[in-house]
A and B are shown apart, each in its own frame.
Chain A
């Protein structure tokens, strides 16, 4: 293991100070560390790494769960790219990611800015705004959402007051995806907390100096706050986009397990699930899963690449 290899390259001075006995002690310490980690490592190998490798293999097979997988090479991928429903699922997912992620982050940042100021009952506000993130993933919220956005329900009636009549979002293929977007935005708590932490790190001296130079609130935000929290913003953008690509539960529940109507909420994972567990095309589903992994990796890579242009780490450290 690596720890054994590392030992000889340690500086000679240290080695003389702590000879063989110390090395053994360290090794024992490491061993204990690995021992404590072993449940997690075993879990990772058995439940994550193992299935992932298996699924990589299945991606190149035709596998219906019952008969042994049959090697088909790239067939799954070629059928996938030509499949109109797959194309639709990509379209729906991209739309969701592009609309939901920025809106959610905008709201998270906005609320974080409000909550960063000292005021009474601050802790209560924070808890209240964070709450939806805790329960948001549950199935029951999906049902609540369905009820809210149905025909003649709260949202529909409120819209009608303003003269907008679309007759509920749930049954309407043109609107239903936006009810999922709304559900995602509503759960802005987690990025908000991260933004809050970031805002607390911004040195007050900078603001004081800027104020003395006559910079208004907008200018201060743009020239101080935003650059200072850009690493946090980057982290949030990264995490939330990855999450958005993987949206499943809300789409599945809100659209009554069919990801519709008319495939309007057929997000990528929903189609993957249908292919795998309803149609028993595990090979195809695995191919889809790996395509998603590669796509998300690409998006992550692009984001990392782009951070050079807009993420500011403290110059002093360079």
Chain B
């Protein structure tokens, strides 16, 4: 054969070069967006949200309704799941091209306010394009940061305990208002003894639940700019949690991981799970048992530490169509028809117009409404504070590190230390 060493090498290099080129080209992606005014004066605005399929179907119906009422405004929808939404949003916003109107939550308000992405909607309210009245239970304050109105709540929700009613009944235990943590864990023990299933799916990795526990003890997860608890507090919380995993009171984290995207509760791995009350609607569809909402355990038999959180709509500060964006938000939070279509998918409807228009008929939505009524009546609701910039990163870290503790891969004390060090970096970012 006439091939020389050099030729062989060159062939190899050529092949390598071609591979690199292909990879380079494959890595390119297109992105772009336009929000402009067309020749006939029709304005197009982009509207983005996260959520599952039922929410998307409902929101598309509300968009159709809006476009009928405002024929000069066209809405371009964009939607993904939660994780992908914020990754995409960050990139879009940094490029100066975020959607004109988008779903938002308390963990992101300060972050994107600090970066100048969110519009103060007060001016639009003053101009008469957006009505800031008739919000229930003072929930409008959830969208305020430093005197600015940068989010308009679409619904209100609160943390709850979702229980497998059959499992609770079989064990003969009852979840009652004002019960303590000790009573809660004792109930789980009874369930474990009688039904051979774990009690809880992994409470100690949920940042929002730890927040409630801290509030019960006169603290909170976040202050305006930092963490509101000590490393020792967290070490204790995770040590107790890990002990309960070891004893089988909390479900095996390996199995919980396998069950995803199904929740551990609907997969039958445990008898109860802490989550936001409006999320509870998913369980009936996923699992075979009957699920109900139960009160948050307390420290003193009274204070649950609960508050009303909410999903909101925000507008981009640099939108070319501030008026239309405000009109759209106004329609989405006040129009009774929209309330009827959305139901409690994003929490109990935030305005009286929508709340009065939607009368839940199915047991799930009824349950959520009854639960929040009960919580409101108990008078235990505290005030929510907009989380500091970086809260989203800390929430993810809390879940991840809590998972490592559960798996026995990190000692609680080291885990607490790691969280504090990651929090420091997140606040600085």
Contact = CB atoms under 8 A, between A and B. Distances in A.
B91 A262 contact: no
B39 interface: no
Contact of A167 (B254, B260, B409, B429): B254
A193 to B, nearest CB: 12
B407 A231 contact: no
Name the residue among A66, A231, A314 with the largest chain B CB count within 10 angstroms: A66
Given A277-B87, A314-B3, A262 B255 contact: no
A261 B28 contact: no
Contacts of A313: 5, 8
Interface in A22-45: 40, 43-44
Interface string A225-244: 00000010011001100000
B31 interface: no
A173 B24 CA distance: 33
Given A171-B256, A171-B257, A280 B400 contact: no
A260 B87 contact: no
A277 B392 CA distance: 13
A313 B3 CA distance: 9
A260 B257 CA distance: 9
A261 B12 contact: no
Given A258-B400, A261-B253, A262-B409, A151 B258 contact: yes
Contacts of B25: 43, 47
Contacts of A201: 1
Given A257-B83, A262-B404, A317-B3, A170 B258 contact: yes
Contacts of B12: 231, 234-235, 238
A152 B252 CA distance: 14
B400 to A, nearest CB: 7
Contacts of A150: 258
Interface string B223-264: 000000000000000000000000000001111111111000
A170 B429 contact: no
Contacts of B396: 278
Interface residues of B, number: 47
A96 to B, nearest CB: 18
A47 B94 CA distance: 19
B410 interface: yes
Contact of B93 (A66, A84, A203, A317): A66
A301 to B, nearest CB: 14
B16 interface: yes
A256 B261 contact: yes
A239 B83 CA distance: 33
A54 B12 CA distance: 29
B418 interface: yes
B93 A262 contact: no
Nearest to A317: B4
B426 A279 contact: yes
A87 interface: no
A258 B83 CA distance: 10
Contact of A260 (B2, B19, B21, B403): B403
A280 B91 CA distance: 9
Given A171-B254, A173-B409, A317 B400 contact: no
Contacts of B16: 238-239
Interface in B1-47: 1-5, 8, 12, 15-16, 19, 21, 24-25, 27-28
Contacts of B257: 170-172, 260-261
B69 interface: no
Interface string B141-160: 00000000000000000000
A189 interface: no
Interface string A36-62: 000010011001100000000000000
Contacts of B171: none
B134 interface: no
Name the residue among B15, B83, B255 with the largest chain A CB count within 10 angstroms: B255
B253 to A, nearest CB: 7
A170 B257 CA distance: 7
A257 B81 CA distance: 12
Name the residue among B252, B400, B418 with the largest chain A CB count within 10 angstroms: B400
Interface in B50-78: none
B90 interface: yes
A120 interface: no
Contact of B400 (A239, A263, A279): A263
Nearest to A40: B21
Interface in A209-256: 231, 234-235, 238-239, 256
A256 B261 CA distance: 8
B221 to A, nearest CB: 19
B224 to A, nearest CB: 20
A234 B253 CA distance: 43
A261 B403 contact: yes
A309 interface: no
A167 B5 contact: no
Nearest to B261: A256
Nearest to B5: A313
A218 B351 CA distance: 81
A279 B258 contact: no
Contacts of B87: 277-278
Interface string B381-413: 000000000000100100010011001011000
A64 interface: yes
A257 B257 CA distance: 12
B115 interface: yes
A195 B25 CA distance: 26
A299 interface: no
A48 B256 CA distance: 41
Given A43-B28, A170-B257, A239-B16, A278 B393 contact: yes
Contacts of A44: 21, 24
10 contacts: A40-B21, A47-B27, A150-B258, A152-B258, A168-B254, A172-B257, A261-B253, A277-B90, A313-B8, A317-B3
Given A152-B258, A170-B258, A280-B94, 6 more contacts: A47-B24, A168-B254, A239-B19, A260-B403, A277-B91, A314-B5
Interface of A: 40, 43-44, 47-48, 64-67, 84, 150-152, 167-168, 170-173, 201, 203, 231, 234-235, 238-239, 256-258, 260-263, 277-281, 313-314, 316-318
